[in-house]
C-alpha cells in the first residue's frame, strides 16, 4: 500500500477545497513543482494531481503545470480532473502521466471508458466519487442516479483495473475515511452492474470481472486512519490519497510511509 500526496491545482496554485467546494479554498503554494519535489524528498513515489479548473469547467487548463510536474518531479504521476475527450486523454499520457483518472466520463459515457481501458490498460483508473450514497460528477456538483457499488461493478466489467474511491463529504474535512463506502466498492466485483452498453461484439469480449484494486481518498487525517486502511490491503486497497492532513501537518509523510513498512 502506498501513500499518494495530493496536489490540487486551481489557476496554477496548489490548493485544497473543503468538500470540493470552489468557494472554500485554501492556497498552500504557487509553485506546484517545488511541492512535488518536497513530497519526493520525504519518500513519496506517487502523486495524485488534480486539475480543479478542469473538473469544474471540463477543460484540462492546468496541463502545462501538470506536465512540468511529470517531467521534473521524478515521481509517478496520476492525473485527474476534466479528462473528458480522447484528445485530452492523449495529451495527459503524452505529458508523462503514469495513470489518468476518468470520472465524469465513467458516469456519462461508459463506452469511452471501455475503449480507454482496452487501449491503455493499467494506465486508466476510474473515480468513484460519492456523496450520501450516490455518485456525483462534473467537479462533484453534478448529481447522478448511480450508486457507488453499481458504477464500480460496471467499470470492473468494462476492464478497469483500478478505482479511486472518495467520500466527497469528508474530503478536506479531516474526519477520517468512510470505511463503509470503501467496503461497498471493494465488493463491487460481485455486484451485477446496470447494463448501459449494447450487446455489440466489443461489449461481449470484455474479460471476466475480477476483484478491483482500490485507492482510498477523502478524510484521511491521522496515522490511525492509515493503519485502518492498511487492514483492507488484503481486500484490494493498494493506496491512500492524502491532501489536507499533509499540508496542515496532521500527518507526517515519512512517518506514514514507515507505518506502511517503507
What are the residue numbers of the active site?
8, 129
CA 164 – CA 97 distance, rounded (Å): 16
- For 94, phi then psi, to 5°, come to -65, -30
Amino acid at each position: 500500500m502506498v501513500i499518494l500526496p495530493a496536489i490540487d491545482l486551481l489557476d496554477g496554485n496548489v490548493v485544497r477545497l473543503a468538500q470540493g467546494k470552489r468557494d472554500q479554498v485554501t492556497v498552500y503554494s504557487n509553485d506546484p513543482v517545488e511541492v512535488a519535489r518536497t513530497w519526493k524528498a520525504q519518500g513519496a513515489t506517487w502523486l495524485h494531481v488534480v486539475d480543479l479548473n478542469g473538473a469544474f469547467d471540463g477543460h484540462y487548463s492546468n496541463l502545462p503545470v501538470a506536465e512540468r510536474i511529470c517531467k521534473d518531479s521524478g515521481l509517478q504521476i496520476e492525473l485527474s480532473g476534466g479528462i473528458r475527450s480522447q484528445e485530452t486523454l492523449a495529451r495527459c499520457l503524452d505529458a508523462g502521466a503514469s495513470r489518468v483518472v476518468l470520472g465524469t466520463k465513467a458516469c456519462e459515457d461508459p463506452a469511452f471508458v471501455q475503449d480507454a481501458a482496452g487501449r491503455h490498460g493499467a494506465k486508466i483508473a476510474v473515480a468513484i466519487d460519492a456523496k450520501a450514497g450516490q455518485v456525483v460528477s462534473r467537479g462533484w456538483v453534478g448529481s447522478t442516479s448511480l450508486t457507488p457499488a453499481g458504477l464500480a461493478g460496471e467499470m470492473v466489467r468494462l476492464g478497469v483495473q483500478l478505482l479511486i474511491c472518495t467520500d466527497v463529504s469528508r474530503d478536506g474535512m479531516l474526519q477520517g475515511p468512510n470505511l463503509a463506502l470503501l467496503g461497498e466498492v471493494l465488493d463491487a466485483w460481485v455486484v451485477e452492474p446496470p447494463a448501459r452498453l449494447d450487446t455489440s461484439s466489443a461489449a461481449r469480449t470484455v474479460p471476466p470481472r475480477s476483484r478491483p484494486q482500490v485507492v482510498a481518498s477523502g478524510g484521511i487525517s491521522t496515522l490511525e486512519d492509515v493503519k485502518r486502511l492498511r487492514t483492507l490491503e488484503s481486500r484490494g486497497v493498494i493506496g491512500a490519497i492524502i491532501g489536507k492532513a499533509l499540508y496542515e501537518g496532521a500527518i507526517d509523510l515519512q512517518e506514514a510511509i514507515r507505518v506502511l513498512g517503507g
